[in-house]
Amino acid sequence: MSNEWNLAPAAESTSSAEIKERYELFINGEWQAPSDGNYFETISPASEESLAQVAAAGQKDVDRAFEAANAAFKPWSALPAAERGKYIYRIARMIQERSRELAVVESLDGGKPIRESRDIDVPLAAAHFFYYAGWADKLEYAFPQRDPKPLGVAAQIIPWNFPLLMAAWKIAPALACGNTVVLKPAETTPLTALKLAEIIKDAGLPPGVVNIITGAGETGAMMTAHKIPKKLAFTGSTDVGKMIYKAALQGNKKVTLELGGKAANIIFDDAPIEAAVEGIINGIYFNQGHVCCAGSRLFVQESVYDQVLMKLKRRMDQLVVGDPLDKNTDIGAINSKSQLQTIEEYLEVGRAEGSEIYQPECELPEIGYWCRPTLFTNVAQSNRIAQEEIFGPVLAIQTFRTIEEVIDKANNTPYGLSAGVWTDKGSKIFQLTKAMKAGVVWANTFNKFDPTSPFGGYKESGFGREGGIHGLSAYLDF
Amino acid sequence: MSRLNIQKTYKLFIGGKFPRTESGRSYSIENDKGALIANMCHASRKDFRNSVVVARKAQAGWAGKTAFNRSQILYRLAEMLEARSASFSEEIQLLGSSKSDADKEVVDAIDTLVYYAGWCDKYTALFSSVNPTASAHFNFTVHEPTGVVAAVAPEQNGLLGLVQIIAPIICGGNTTVVLASNTMGTSAISFAEVVQNSDVPGGVINILTGVMSELTPHMASHMDVNALVIARIGLSDESRDAVIENVKRFADWSTSEVDSNPYRILDFQEAKSTWHPVQTSTGGVSGY
């Protein structure tokens, strides 16, 4: 049989996605032009076409945003908590109502497959607002013998891998706890956060409660150095996270950091192999591997190594790389040109270190930023591709014989965000999940997220939790 | 004929042993009349680093004990301290405290140990959660120890201040290297004798005496220390900022008096969320 049975194109219509030519800054409930008059382009990484001009916030804009948030804090925190919660419920509902549009824009701006933005990013963002809305009038039950109070203004900086979802993770608990916020999305993916600003305006939130400003790292630095915020919340790289931690210490601000990772995904010989292979694929190729908790280090018990590798390669051969807006696409576009360069450098590093590379021979579009799903075998623990966060669809495979050996290897990293373990034996699951120095451990599953489940790291993957009851204390003063 | 009494040599407490500082340095503690009370070890950076090595070695074993066992060991510390309360009171009085103040400091230290002994097997139940995810998963969040904690005890209340900072750290399965009070550290080193007699494994509690400004830069920057807690004012900004190098957890307890509550334990805990799928039966439903 020939391999002509290719999937027919199944492109999602973009007609629902209205993108303005130019976006201003959302400050004090209004769209305000940047005082320096600077704008930057946001492009589609799949087509390299410009999607919109976006305002670059300078110092005066950052000042205005924090002043608006500061002025809004007193009345917002003084609202009856149930009323505060109802505003947040409204946001959740409006995200659901505009879910199709948000999903399309997310995939256009960031390059992720529409299947993921439609089924994961947008529903989870709505669920996050819905979950924390309900906490607003129940905070005193969460902390026995304590008197929880809002902190004030929060400065929040989020990355480009889950733009809308990270905005939800940051804004929802902050508002529920009675704070006001200034949020900055990443410069390559500002559009869904700006759509969220439209929703927040439509929901009738009092002006200044949520301010969304756009810009690059310099704008972020102005935010973290600013006098007004009492709280810094950051998701992103460990290097930038350390700078933000320092700014927080120097400014005597509360801080939570959700930083990089290099998760171990551990397959034992008694694992359900077919399910484990799906878990490996989902662990590292979900969202092009642009996931801080990606299962980028695979540890396979020696006795099943050949079998797992064969099935894994066969599964990789079936992955569809291409148009993010095609519903059949498994792996979309790499988020930016610079990230593609970073990934390609690591591919070179892997080869140079003596590891063997495997990539399926799938066709790639000629325009846009693409990377085939990649795995490396013959990887040593000390190799850079086994130590450093690549943030791309690149898997480093190692083998092990004993439980003790794999626990040592898995924990031998400065990171500690997540881990995965696959085995059919319950007691072994708990031995491993207890031994992993990681904030999120998936057993016989991977890359699952839920607003009720706290997420965050050990060690240099940061501290503080987002989600669940534990996510509240990040935004409260006691 | 009057008998010449035997004075105690105060040393460091590292890995369950009482070594002198490797630096050979000392400083003196005097009472308010200027009389010599003791020559104390002036611990060096290397003493601190050696302490971290043994604290790290001891950490997995300590965290791996059952919570009930840790609870009994903390209670044992209280028992041993109670038995020696008179001598601790006298030792504290030598530094100028009144008898009633010294007695109170000792009983407060004992009661603090009993308080946290009780928390060992309870705080996880109080602060854990089972999370009702919107998918077929069993998902729960529990706390685990952060690891090795470097600590600076308050300058006042050499015994009580030390106990108030050590107890919540070790209650939660961490090991610690703690810098005791500089001017009131005699009772802290005597407390090490209590530790040694209480089934606390060597390396779980390590106690140094010395100079805060000299040791805190190394406490903050050490890459194998997971958390730093300061219960004494005077930490320089430069020293503090070094905690960023390995994203060390930092707790500042210097701004108010240290009280006892279970939230102190959480300053040295990490929350772990564990997921597992739940099988759902898709077979036939009963039909009426």
Q: Residues of A numbered 212-271 whose beta carbons fall under 8 angstroms of chain B's beta carbons: which are they?
A: 238, 241-243, 245-246, 249-250, 257, 259
Q: How far apart are CA B240 and CA A247, in angstroms?
A: 12
In angstroms, what separates the C-alpha of B273 from chain A's closest C-alpha?
Answer: 5
Sort out which chain A residues have CB atoms less than 8 A from B273's CB and list them: 439-441, 453-455, 468
Q: Which DSSP helix (H) or strand (E) runs through A315?
A: helix A305-317
* Helix ranges restricted to H, A81-162: 81-97, 99-110, 114-116, 122-133, 139-142
Sort out which chain B residues have CB atoms less than 8 A from A478's CB and list them: 263
In angstroms, what separates the C-alpha of A438 from chain B's closest C-alpha?
Answer: 7
B12 found inside a domain: no
Catalytic residue among A292, A293, A371, A466: A292
| β pairing state of A440-443 and A418-422 | parallel
Whether residue B134 and residue A450 make contact (CB cut-off 8 A), yes or no, is yes
B177: which residues sit within 8 A by CB, 6+ positions away?
Answer: B48, B51, B52, B55, B148, B149, B150, B151, B206, B208, B219, B225
| Residue A311 CB coordination number (10 Å) | 17
Q: How far apart are CA A198 and CA A189, in angstroms?
A: 16
B59 found inside a domain: yes
**Residue pLDDT, tens place only, A138-177:** 999 999 999 999 999 999 999 999 999 999 999 999 999 9
Whether residue A443 and residue B131 make contact (CB cut-off 8 A), yes or no, is no
Calculate the alpha carbon distances from A385 to A27, A397, B32, B148 in Å.
42, 10, 62, 28
Size of interface A-B (CB pairs under 8 A): 105
* DSSP string covering A392-407: SSEEEEEEESSHHHHH
Sort out which chain B residues have CB atoms less than 8 A from A469's CB and list them: 129
Mutation to test the B interface, candidates A249, A292, A425, A449, most B Cβ within 10 Å: A249
Active site includes A292?
yes
Q: Which DSSP helix (H) or strand (E) runs through B175?
A: strand B175-179
| Residue A208 CB coordination number (10 Å) | 26
Tell me what pLDDT residue A3 has. 54
| Residue A306 CB coordination number (10 Å) | 10
**Which residue bears the tokens 């519903």?**
A327
In degrees rounded to 5, what are phi and psi of residue A387?
A: -110, -35
In angstroms, what separates the C-alpha of B241 from chain A's closest C-alpha?
Answer: 6
Look at residues A68, A334, A82, A48 and name the one whose alpha carbon lies nearest to residue A197: A68
**Which residue bears the tokens 């301290």?**
B81
Tell me what pLDDT residue A408 has. 97
Kindly state which CATH superfamily the domain A264-443 is placed in: Aldehyde Dehydrogenase; Chain A, domain 2 (3.40.309.10)
Mutation to test the B interface, candidates A292, A431, A448, A478, most B Cβ within 10 Å: A448
Q: How many residues does chain B have?
A: 288
Give the closest of A443, A453, A463 to B249, CB-based.
A463
Instruction: Work out the angle at residue B231's Cα, subtended by the Cα atoms of residues B226 and B236, and round it to the nearest 5 degrees.
Output: 80
pLDDT above 90 as % of chain A: 96
Q: Which residue of A has its CA nearest to B237?
A: A250
Q: How far apart are CA A146 and CA A297, in angstroms?
A: 42
pLDDT band at A411 (very low <50, low <70, confident <90, very high): very high
Catalytic residue among A101, A116, A187, A258: A258
Residue type for position B260: S
Q: Which residue of B has its CA nearest to A448?
A: B275
Q: Which residue of A has its CA nearest to B134?
A: A450
Sort out which chain A residues have CB atoms less than 8 A from B275's CB and list them: 440-443, 445, 448, 453
DSSP 8-state secondary structure symbol assigned to residue A184? E
Sort out which chain A residues have CB atoms less than 8 A from B245's CB and list them: 242
| Residue A401 CB coordination number (10 Å) | 10
Residue A1 has pLDDT above 80, yes or no: no
- Token pair of A293 as six digits: 């908790």
Q: How far apart are CA A322 and CA A331, in angstroms?
A: 7
Q: How far apart are CA B205 and CA B175, in angstroms?
A: 6
Whether residue A250 and residue B134 make contact (CB cut-off 8 A), yes or no, is no
DSSP 8-state secondary structure symbol assigned to residue A203? T
Give the closest of A127, A257, A440 to B273, CB-based.
A440
Q: Residues of A numbered 432-451 whose beta carbons fall under 8 angstroms of chain B's beta carbons: which are they?
A: 433-434, 436, 438-445, 448, 450
B18 found inside a domain: no
Report the mean per-residue pLDDT for chain A: 97
Q: How far is CA A210 from the centre of its chain?
A: 20
A8: which residues sit within 8 A by CB, 6+ positions away?
Answer: none
**Residue pLDDT, tens place only, A428-451:** 999 999 999 999 999 999 999 999
* Residue B38 buriedness (CB in 10 A; 0-12 / 13-18 / 19+): buried
In degrees rounded to 5, what are phi and psi of residue B216?
A: -60, -35
Sort out which chain A residues have CB atoms less than 8 A from B272's CB and list them: 433, 436, 438-441, 458
Q: Which residue of A has its CA nearest to B129?
A: A469
Whether residue B272 and residue A441 make contact (CB cut-off 8 A), yes or no, is yes
Question: What's the average model confidence in pLDDT over A309-330?
Answer: 97
CATH number of A22-259+458-477: 3.40.605.10
Give the closest of A245, A249, A439 to B273, CB-based.
A439
B260: which residues sit within 8 A by CB, 6+ positions away?
Answer: B112, B115, B116, B164, B167, B168
b (16+ CB within 10 A) / e for A19-52: beeebbbbbbbebbebbeeebbebbbbbbeeebb
DSSP 8-state secondary structure symbol assigned to residue B20? P
In angstroms, what separates the C-alpha of A249 from chain B's closest C-alpha?
Answer: 7
pLDDT band at A16 (very low <50, low <70, confident <90, very high): confident
Mark the ranges of chain B whose per-residue pLDDT is less than 70: 1, 282-288
A369 contacts chain B (CB < 8 A): no
B191: which residues sit within 8 A by CB, 6+ positions away?
Answer: B81, B88, B109, B159, B162, B163, B207
A365 contacts chain B (CB < 8 A): no
Phi-psi category of residue A289: left, alpha or beta, with phi > 0 → left and psi -120 to 50 → alpha: left
Q: Are A253 and A182 in contact (CB under 8 A)?
A: no
CB under 8 Å, gap of 24 or more: what pairs does B234-238 form?
A: B235/B152, B237/A249, B237/A250
CB under 8 Å, gap of 24 or more: what pairs does A343-351 form?
A: A343/A371, A343/A390, A343/A391, A343/A392, A343/A393, A343/A394, A344/A371, A346/A384, A346/A385, A346/A388, A346/A390, A346/A392, A346/A394, A347/A374, A347/A394, A349/A384, A349/A385, A350/A376, A350/A379, A350/A383, A350/A384, A350/A385, A350/A394, A350/A396
Q: How far apart are CA A476 and CA A469, in angstroms?
A: 12
Question: What's the average model confidence in pLDDT over A356-361?
Answer: 97
CATH code, domain with B189: 3.40.605.10
- Token pair of B221 as six digits: 């920057």
Whether residue A453 and residue B237 make contact (CB cut-off 8 A), yes or no, is no
What ipTM was estimated for this complex?
0.96
Structural domain range at position B121: 26-277
Question: What's the average model confidence in pLDDT over A2-28?
Answer: 85
Q: Which DSSP helix (H) or strand (E) runs through A243?
A: helix A238-250
Give the closest of A144, A249, A468 to B129, CB-based.
A468
Whether residue A444 and residue B132 make contact (CB cut-off 8 A), yes or no, is no
The residues of chain A that CATH labels 3.40.309.10 are 264-443
**Which residue bears the tokens 């969460």?**
A142
Q: Are A92 and A129 in contact (CB under 8 A)?
A: yes
Tally of domains in chain B: 1
Q: Are B247 and A242 in contact (CB under 8 A)?
A: yes
DSSP 8-state secondary structure symbol assigned to residue A119? I
Active site includes A258?
yes
B228 found inside a domain: yes
Q: How far apart are CA B146 and CA B225, in angstroms?
A: 9
Residue A470 has pLDDT above 50, yes or no: yes
Whether residue A459 and residue B241 make contact (CB cut-off 8 A), yes or no, is no
A291 contacts chain B (CB < 8 A): no
Residue type for position B95: L
Q: Are A393 and A242 in contact (CB under 8 A)?
A: no
Mutation to test the B interface, candidates A411, A459, A472, most B Cβ within 10 Å: A459
Tell me what pLDDT residue B99 has. 98
Q: How far apart are CA B70 and CA A225, in angstroms?
A: 43
Q: How far apart are CA B244 and CA B224, in angstroms?
A: 13
pLDDT band at A467 (very low <50, low <70, confident <90, very high): very high
The residues of chain A that CATH labels 3.40.605.10 are 22-259+458-477
B21 found inside a domain: no
Tell me what pLDDT residue A4 has. 62
B11 found inside a domain: no
b (16+ CB within 10 A) / e for A110-147: bbbbbbbbbebbbbbbbbbbbbbbebbbebeeebeeee
Q: Are A94 and A133 in contact (CB under 8 A)?
A: no
In angstroms, what separates the C-alpha of A246 from chain B's closest C-alpha?
Answer: 6
Mutation to test the A interface, candidates B276, B278, B280, most A Cβ within 10 Å: B276
Q: How far apart are CA B51 and CA B55, in angstroms?
A: 6
Tell me what pLDDT residue B283 has. 55
B286 found inside a domain: no
**Which residue bears the tokens 């947040």?**
A88
Tell me what pLDDT residue A98 has. 97
In angstroms, what separates the C-alpha of A235 from chain B's closest C-alpha?
Answer: 14
DSSP 8-state secondary structure symbol assigned to residue A98? T
Look at residues B177, B110, B183 and name the one whose alpha carbon lies nearest to residue B147: B177
Residue A54 C-beta-side C-alpha neighbours within 13 Å: 26
**Residue pLDDT, tens place only, A96-115:** 999 999 999 999 999 999 99
Residue type for position A316: M
Q: How far apart are CA B232 and CA B155, in angstroms?
A: 6
Residue A298 has pLDDT above 50, yes or no: yes
In angstroms, what separates the C-alpha of B277 from chain A's closest C-alpha?
Answer: 7
Q: How far apart are CA A293 and CA A391, in angstroms?
A: 10
B253 found inside a domain: yes
Tell me what pLDDT residue B100 has. 98
pLDDT band at A2 (very low <50, low <70, confident <90, very high): very low
Q: How far apart are CA B56 and CA B62, in angstroms?
A: 10
Question: What's the average model confidence in pLDDT over A84-89?
Answer: 98
Q: Which residue of B has its CA nearest to A145?
A: B261
Whether residue A441 and residue B274 make contact (CB cut-off 8 A), yes or no, is yes
In angstroms, what separates the C-alpha of B48 from chain A's closest C-alpha?
Answer: 21
Q: How far apart are CA A476 and CA A36, in angstroms?
A: 35
